[in-house]
Amino acid sequence: MTSTSTATQRKARPHAAPAWMVLSLACACQFMVILDASIVNVALPSIRRDLGFTPTGLAWVVNGYLLTFAGFMLLGGRAADLFGHRRMLVAGLSLFSASSLVAGLATAPEVLVVARVAQGMGGAMLAPATLAVINTNFIEKHARGRAFGAWSAAGGLGGMAGAVAGGAITTDLSWQWVFLINLPIGAVLIAVAIMSLAGTRTGLRESLDLTGAVTGTAGLAALIYGVMQSADHGWTSVLVIGPAVAGLLLLVVFAVMEARFATQPMMPLRLFRIRRVAVGNVMLLLFGGIAIAMWYFTSLLLQNALGYSALRAGLGQTPAAVTFAVIARWAAVLLPRTGVRPLVLAGCGFFVAGFGWLAQAHADSGYVTSVLGPTLLIAVGIGLTFPTLMAAATADVREGDAGIIGGLANTANQVGGSIGLAVLATAASARAAMEATGSSPAAALAAGYDLVFLVAAGLGLAIAAVSVLLPLHRRG
């Protein structure tokens, strides 16, 4: 737990810039990372046509980014602790911007995929560093809560802005601009990072745990790769089981090496003895499935079952995104007063109600009564829980662990989303296949999505059950 002397030192440290500038930088970086994960989806048909992708190859325009983004997050977090938050932010922004330029100028499928892999690595350097910046620059509970709320809202708006902006840019300009738009944004953020984070260093002189870096990163990447393959090959395929088992074995080796042999471990296992950190990360793992069910499968419901265009579907989810942003800021104000558990339980109540309502949708449903209403309820739940879970999962750690704890929280959420996507997609496909006989294609797909939403309601109940393990508010 953070010592009094350490906290005093952090409070006494002079800021190179006003707090609002530091927070704006963290939020803008998070917005850009999440924006890039979603903006590409709408442009995929144009990319496939212009560059001659095969259907399997096209998937790697998305998977290449997600794989390295999630797989390298722990490494990026530890590097931020060792080499400084400002340095990692600038390096991540530089890699992200440079790879965006390569992607925008790509004339061959292989070049674009390599650029997307590099973008994912840049994002893995950025995301934990932004959380570390918040943890080390906002010490007072109310200020930190508001900062987490703003950071969470920025990520949610980035995802929705990607869906809408991707359609507009692809239609009015070209798919290249979904990547090139990152260049001016990245240049501005690099300048702001150099000015606002000048002198923010952890002071650590430890060396990077190379064994932990290799086994942990390779294990996460192999596990996520195997899960991703399940959509095309099924869960019993050797292409799924092989990488997944290899990834789990590498993660076991990683845990043993970190616990028994590493003198300066990349992932200090002592962090899991902090109850809020351990429980918060379990809940973030479960929350990843809820986020996928809300944003990804609701978009599919609108497009495949209700017949919306991609752009119209993005606009259809905008009210929920705005609601999430507003509630996330409000939850951040409440968090220091209520503690984590009440907000999580309230959010789970909204999840169950919203997903239960959304599961009643069918191919002839109207938008207002069957989609807008329930997604607004779910957005309230996400707004209450996401910043709260992030705050819980990154609390009570010393300054020198701020980067790795941010990497761990982001990894839990991303891995939960990857596994959730694979499992929920399999469930939706199986249910749709069962309903295909005697039903229209749209009706069968709607039935599959309804099952997804019921499973998501169950995940909300699971998060509520895990939340009882959180310490009482009087401890925080």
Average pLDDT over residues 412-422: 83
> Distance (Å, rounded) from C-alpha 111 to C-alpha 89?
25
pLDDT tens digits, one per residue of 26-53: 888 888 888 877 777 777 778 888 888 8
Give the Cβ contact number of residue 232 at 10 Å: 12
pLDDT, tens digit (0-9, with 9 covering 90-100), for 198-254: 554 544 556 677 788 888 888 888 888 888 788 778 888 998 899 999 999 999 998
Q: What is the pLDDT of residue 4?
A: 38
DSSP code for 309: -
User: Contact at 8 Å (CB) between 288 and 417?
Assistant: yes
d(CA 152, CA 324) in angstroms, rounded, equals 9
What's the CA gap between 136 and 448, in Å, rounded? Answer: 44
Give residue 16's Cα distance to chain centre: 29
Residue 309 has pLDDT above 90, yes or no: no
pLDDT of residue 55: 65
Torsion of CA 276, 278, 279, 285, to 10 degrees: 130
Q: Which helix (H) or strand (E) holds 272?
A: none
Stretch 177-199: mean pLDDT, rounded?
85
Q: How confident is the model at residue 311 (pLDDT cuts 50, 70, 90)?
A: confident
Mean pLDDT over each residue of the chain, to the nearest integer: 82
Q: How many CB atoms lie within 10 A of CB 269?
A: 12
Q: Quote the pLDDT of residue 357.
A: 95
More confident residue, 217 or 103: 103
The whole-number pLDDT of residue 17 equals 67
So what's the pLDDT on residue 437?
78
- Rounded to 10°, the helix 275-291/402-435 angle is 30
Only one residue has tokens 């959380």, namely 131
Using an 8 Å Cβ cutoff, are 226 and 242 in contact?
A: yes
Do residues 248 and 219 touch, judged by C-beta distance below 8 A?
A: yes
Residue 286 vs residue 165, higher pLDDT: 286
Q: What is the pLDDT of residue 205?
A: 55
Residue 209, SS3 per DSSP: coil
Span 272-471: which CATH code?
1.20.1250.20
* pLDDT 10s digits, 336-346: 888 888 999 99
Question: Rounded to whole angstroms, what are the CA distances from 151 to 110, 135, 168, 183, 389?
Answer: 34, 12, 25, 21, 13
Q: Tens digits of per-residue pLDDT, 361-405?
A: 888 888 888 899 999 999 999 989 988 888 888 776 676 677 788
Calculate mean pLDDT across residues 451-467.
93
Give the pTM.
Answer: 0.80
**Sign of dihedral through CA atoms 347, 352, 353, 357?**
positive
- pLDDT of 101 > 60? The answer is yes
In terms of DSSP H, where are the helices of 296-372? 297-300, 310-316, 318-338, 340-358, 367
Return the exposure string of 437-466: e unless at least 16 CB atoms fall within 10 Å of the residue's CB, then b.
eebeeebbbbbbbbbbbbbbbbbbebbbeb
Is the pLDDT score of 71 beyond 70? yes
Q: How do residues 74-90 score in pLDDT, each as one tens digit?
A: 888 888 888 888 888 89
* Residue 333 or 170, more confident: 333
Per-residue pLDDT at 8: 37
Q: Is the domain covering 16-203 a CATH 1.20.1250.20 domain?
A: yes
Among 78, 84, 31, 74, which residue's Cα sits nearest to residue 194? 84
Look-up: residue for tokens 């995802």?
159
